[in-house]
Amino acid sequence: MVLVPVVNLDPDLAALRPLGGFFVLRTLSTPGGAAGGPGGLPTLAETYERATSDVPGNALTSRVDTVAHRLRTPELRVSASIAQQGLAARLWSVALGCAVLYGRLPDLDARLLRWDPLASAPDDLLLTEPRPLPGDAATLAGIVLHGHLEPLGAALRTRYGIATGLLWGNAGSALAGAARELDRWARAHGRTDVADRVRALTDDLFAHPLLRTTGIRTGTAFRRRSCCLYYRVPGGGVCGDCCFIRPPRSSPRAASG
């Protein structure tokens, strides 16, 4: 068991800034955060609830369409997968970063996080009320897996027909990527204590039933058992953790599971 020193969460989560944009989370106390405040941005809870409606301008469909445009892909199933993996990576990065640096987790309840579907990290997410929670694996799983990735996955399956295995594979890949970046930062800065915490938390999270079968881990490396479909993007190939060695030559529904 790795004991994590507990440090009070500062209102703007400043300890995350040296880790890079994917780990940073704006709050209303962040410089410029109030100026770029909630406005008309939906919460992630509203986004998940409305995702299957036909109301124009839904945040999730806007994100999927934006990703499709940026990647020049006509397949919304592909852009939906990549959009989901990007949001999963943001949530894991913030949660894991706080857990190992503070020993606490800000409450990332979907009702407290506002989302700009047209923006990139760190301007996509805004936490309106930082409430401290324990920084243990059970809390991380409750907030990220059950509070976000389950309702997000349900919405994407309903609207775009994406396979469950693919979406959980994306979640595992995103967690492994966040852990790898934290481990790299910790070792580069002589913070072996942080590297130990990252490893312990990640081990516990990958023991969760929803993540246990998503891939094979060797140290910080991860080989997933599914494919995010990036190879179907014009000019795209296979990712570093893909189950494929080379892009498959098969039907349009290949690697959806």
Question: For the segment 143-156, what is each residue's pLDDT rounded down to a tens digit?
Answer: 999 999 999 999 99
How many domains does the structure of the chain reveal?
A: 1
Q: Which domain holds residue 144?
A: 14-232
Q: Establish if 242 belongs to a structural domain.
A: no
pLDDT at 129: 84
pLDDT band with cut points at 50, 70 and 90 for residue 97: very high
Are the beta carbons of 76 and 64 closer than 8 angstroms?
yes
Does the pLDDT of residue 87 top 60, yes or no? yes
Instruction: Match 């023991």 to its residue by tokens.
Output: 207
Q: Establish if 257 belongs to a structural domain.
A: no
Q: Establish if 199 belongs to a structural domain.
A: yes
Q: Establish if 46 belongs to a structural domain.
A: yes
Q: Establish if 241 belongs to a structural domain.
A: no
Q: Establish if 3 belongs to a structural domain.
A: no
| Mean per-residue pLDDT, 126-149 | 95
DSSP-derived 3-state class of residue 62 = helix
Q: Establish if 119 belongs to a structural domain.
A: yes
Q: 10 Å Cβ neighbour count for 200?
A: 16
Going from the C-alpha of 43 to that of each of 52, 54, 93, 124, the distances in angstroms are 16, 18, 19, 11
Q: Establish if 237 belongs to a structural domain.
A: no
- pLDDT of 189-207, one tens digit each? 999 999 999 999 999 999 9
